[in-house]
């Protein structure tokens, strides 16, 4: 029996341009913090080894300090760590893998899988690594496995980085892997990297032997159709599979013997919590409940929250949005999109703050403008109306 952890797409050194420097640094640091959780899992689960199926680094030319930190952390693992190159960190001449400390001949724990050849582990398993040599390729990286002799008494684990050919519209140069590679190559498990959300695939016999583990730490807001962090994948196509689920997890795999179905369990290891939420509001009470709920969430320093608010509120309720923004300042990142949240002061509110003079006539005019359907005009009028309403309330207070 063998037990191991399957991770991939750690993207250490992730390049982000969307946020302020402090937030960016925290996001980059979180990838190391999640990697430390993987180390603790390897210890608590007493696994035989750890697999990183490509894209340990976000780029093959990461700086020396980051490369050293990653190496030292992986060397501190309680077991061997097998690392495959990916399309972000391919085995190009002069890449991070050719520089200290990664070019050491015999590290204690870390082994970079530089060659397409079998590797024996624990006298019980054989790894079949498929290293990535360039960012794009038209070849199936697993093809060589079917051409080598093997010991049928060993558990066979393939490791590859690319797109499983599950449909015909995948980019041809995205290191495409045969859909039934695990069965055709007689593998007990095929550990894949490249797609950023966890997925498992059944062989024709109904057994799940092929799996993407997803990212260990989220890269963007879950469910978004784009990243909105200033980072882009190196794939030549826009694949939905490269958008992660926001969970941040790895797989714990156990295989009793050759031919036995793998036991595959997902384990969450993320550090940061990303959330992209939409709320429709119609009353001040609903807004108050939302503010209270957001204010009482635990570990706000680990949270990145993007709110999209829609609906129609009276001016008194809209004025409470400042309180919502104050609450969000406790978060690592808090953003509010309120362009589809509209203001509608009541007659009583207008009378109360504007009286019968010029200010009331201005507010009435703005209210009429806010009801128009001209693009942009209603939004400008609503914002102006809210500002005048707030000023009038402060003056009359």
**Sign for the pseudo-dihedral over CA of 286, 283, 386, 388:** negative
For 170, the enclosing helix (H) or strand (E) is none
Confidence (pLDDT) at 312: 82
Does residue 8 register a pLDDT over 90?
yes
373 versus 214: the higher-pLDDT residue is 214
Does residue 366 register a pLDDT over 70?
yes
Confidence (pLDDT) at 373: 60
Q: What is the DSSP letter of 242?
A: G
Does residue 375 register a pLDDT over 90?
no
pLDDT in tens, 83-129: 999 999 999 999 999 999 999 888 999 999 999 999 999 889 999 99
pLDDT in tens, 37-60: 999 999 999 999 999 999 999 999
What b/e sequence results for 370-396 when a residue is b if at least 16 CB atoms lie within 10 Å of its CB, and e otherwise?
beeeeeeebbebbbbbbebbeebeeee
Confidence (pLDDT) at 392: 72
Q: Please, which residues bridge with residue 158 across strands?
A: 128, 190
Residues 250-274 have a mean pLDDT of 97
Confidence (pLDDT) at 390: 67
2-268 is classed CATH 3.60.21.10: yes
Cα radius of gyration (the chain) = 27
The residues near 177 (Cβ < 8 Å, ≥ 6 apart) are: 140, 141, 142, 160, 162, 163, 164, 165, 192
- Local confidence band at 242 (pLDDT 50, 70, 90 cut-offs): confident
Does residue 228 register a pLDDT over 70?
no
- Local confidence band at 225 (pLDDT 50, 70, 90 cut-offs): low
Does residue 227 register a pLDDT over 70?
no
Confidence (pLDDT) at 236: 64
Does residue 224 register a pLDDT over 70?
no
Which residues make up the CATH 3.60.21.10 domain(s) of the chain?
2-268
Confidence (pLDDT) at 358: 78
Report the predicted TM-score, pTM, of the whole model to 2 decimal places: 0.86
pLDDT in tens, 149-202: 888 899 999 999 999 999 998 999 999 999 999 999 999 999 999 999 999 999
Which of the listed ranges 139-148, 240-249, 341-350, 377-386 does the model predict with the highest average pLDDT? 139-148
- Local confidence band at 275 (pLDDT 50, 70, 90 cut-offs): very high
Percent of the chain with pLDDT over 70: 94
Edge-first strand order for the sheet with 110-112 is: 110-112, 80-84, 49-53, 2-7, 249-255, 263-268
Which of the listed ranges 250-264, 333-347, 369-383 does the model predict with the highest average pLDDT? 250-264
At 133, is the secondary structure helix, strand, or coil? coil
């Amino acid at each position: 029996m063998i037990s191991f952890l399957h991770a991939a797409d750690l993207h250490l050194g992730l390049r982000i341009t969307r946020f302020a420097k402090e937030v960016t640094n925290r996001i980059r640091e979180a990838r190391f913090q999640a990697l430390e959780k993987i180390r603790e899992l390897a210890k608590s689960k007493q696994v035989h080894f750890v697999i990183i199926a490509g894209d340990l680094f976000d780029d093959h030319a990461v700086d020396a300090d980051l490369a050293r930190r990653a190496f030292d952390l992986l060397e501190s693992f309680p077991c061997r760590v097998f690392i495959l190159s990916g399309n972000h960190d391919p085995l190009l001449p002069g890449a991070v893998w050719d520089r200290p400390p990664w070019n050491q001949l015999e590290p204690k724990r870390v082994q970079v899988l530089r060659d397409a050849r079998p590797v024996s582990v624990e006298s019980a398993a054989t790894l079949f690594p498929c290293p990535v040599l360039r960012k794009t390729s038209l070849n199936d990286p697993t093809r060589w496995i079917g051409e080598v002799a093997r010991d049928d008494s060993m558990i066979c684990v393939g490791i590859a980085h690319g797109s499983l050919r599950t449909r015909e519209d995948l980019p041809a140069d995205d290191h495409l892997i045969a859909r039934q590679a695990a069965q055709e190559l007689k593998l007990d498990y095929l550990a894949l990297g490249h797609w950023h959300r966890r997925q498992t695939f059944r062989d024709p016999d109904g057994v799940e032997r092929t799996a993407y583990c997803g990212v260990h730490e989220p890269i963007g807001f879950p469910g978004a159709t784009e990243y909105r962090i200033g980072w882009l994948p190196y794939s030549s196509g826009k694949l939905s599979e490269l958008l992660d689920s926001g969970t941040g997890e790895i797989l714990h795999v156990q295989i009793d013997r050759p031919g036995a179905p793998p036991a595959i369990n997902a384990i969450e290891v993320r550090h940061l919590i990303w959330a992209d939420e939409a709320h429709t509001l119609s009353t001040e009470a609903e807004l108050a409940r939302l503010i209270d709920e957001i204010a009482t969430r635990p570990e706000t320093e680990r949270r990145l929250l993007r709110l999209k608010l829609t609906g129609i509120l009276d001016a008194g309720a809209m004025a409470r949005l400042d309180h919502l923004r104050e609450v969000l300042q406790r978060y690592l990142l808090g953003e509010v999109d309120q362009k589809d949240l509209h203001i509608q002061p009541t007659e009583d509110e207008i009378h109360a703050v504007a009286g019968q003079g010029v200010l009331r006539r201005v507010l009435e005019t703005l209210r009429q403008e806010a009801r128009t359907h001209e693009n942009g005009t209603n939004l400008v009028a609503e914002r102006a109306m809210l500002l005048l309403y707030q000023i009038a309330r402060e003056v009359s207070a």
